C-alpha cells in the first residue's frame, strides 16, 4: 500500500455524520402542505376514507403508518375522521380491515 494513499479519520467521521443525517430524515413525518391536504380530501369527496362519513374536521391519515415504514406521499395519505383515526392507530389498513371483518 503506498504511503500517500490515506483516508483520514476526519473524512470517515464526516461520512458517518452524513449517513446518520440521512437515516435521521428518513421515516420522519414530512409536513403536509395545505394544498396537498385539500387535494387528498377532495379526491375522496370530503369523506372519511374508512367509514365514509362526511365528518369534520377530517384528519390526514397515513394508510401505512410512518412507524411501519409508510411515507408522507399522496398515495399513502387519506382523509379520516377523528374516530377512525383513533381506532386505526398504528395498524396498517389491511390489519384494520381484517379486524373489522371478524367482528
Ligand atoms: Zn371515519
**pLDDT tens digits for 32-65?**
899 999 999 999 999 999 999 998 889 999 999 8
Q: Determine the distance separating the centroid of ligand 1 and the alpha carbon of 54, expressed in angstroms.
A: 8
Q: Determine the distance separating the centroid of ligand 1 and the alpha carbon of 85, expressed in angstroms.
A: 7
Q: Determine the distance separating the centroid of ligand 1 and the alpha carbon of 56, expressed in angstroms.
A: 10
Rounded average pLDDT over 24-39: 76
Q: Determine the distance separating the centroid of ligand 1 and the alpha carbon of 45, expressed in angstroms.
A: 13
The domain spans of the chain are 34-102
Q: With the C-alpha atoms ordered 81, 86, 91, 97, is the resulting torsion angle positive or negative?
A: negative
pLDDT at 23 over 70: no
Give the pLDDT confidence score for residue 34 in this predicted structure.
93
pLDDT at 22 over 70: no
Lowest mean pLDDT among 10-19, 23-32, 58-67, 79-88: 23-32
Give the pLDDT confidence score for residue 59 in this predicted structure.
93
**Residue 99 DSSP SS3:** helix
> What HEC string does the chain produce?
CCCCCCCCHHHHHHHHHHHHHHHHHCCCCCCCCHHHHHHHHHHCCCCCCCCCCCCCCCEEEECCCHHHCCCCCHHHEEEECHHHHHHHCCCCHHHHHHHHHHC
Q: Determine the distance separating the centroid of ligand 1 and the alpha carbon of 44, expressed in angstroms.
A: 12
Would you identify the CATH topology of the domain 34-102?
A: DNA Binding (I), subunit A (1.10.30)
Q: Determine the distance separating the centroid of ligand 1 and the alpha carbon of 29, expressed in angstroms.
A: 22
The structure's pTM equals 0.63
Q: Determine the distance separating the centroid of ligand 1 and the alpha carbon of 38, expressed in angstroms.
A: 17
Burial label for 19, CB within 10 Å (0-12, 13-18, 19+), is: exposed
Residues 66 and 27 sit within 8 Å (Cβ to Cβ): yes
Amino acid at each position: 500500500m503506498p504511503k500517500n494513499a490515506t483516508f483520514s479519520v476526519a473524512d470517515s467521521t464526516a461520512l458517518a455524520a452524513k449517513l446518520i443525517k440521512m437515516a435521521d430524515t428518513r421515516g420522519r413525518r414530512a409536513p403536509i402542505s395545505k394544498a396537498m391536504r385539500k387535494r387528498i380530501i377532495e379526491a375522496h369527496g370530503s369523506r372519511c376514507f374508512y367509514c365514509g362519513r362526511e365528518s369534520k374536521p377530517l384528519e390526514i391519515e397515513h394508510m401505512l403508518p410512518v412507524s411501519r415504514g409508510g411515507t408522507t406521499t399522496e398515495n399513502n395519505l387519506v382523509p379520516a375522521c377523528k374516530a377512525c383515526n383513533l381506532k386505526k392507530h398504528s395498524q396498517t389498513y389491511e390489519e384494520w380491515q381484517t379486524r373489522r371483518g371478524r367482528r
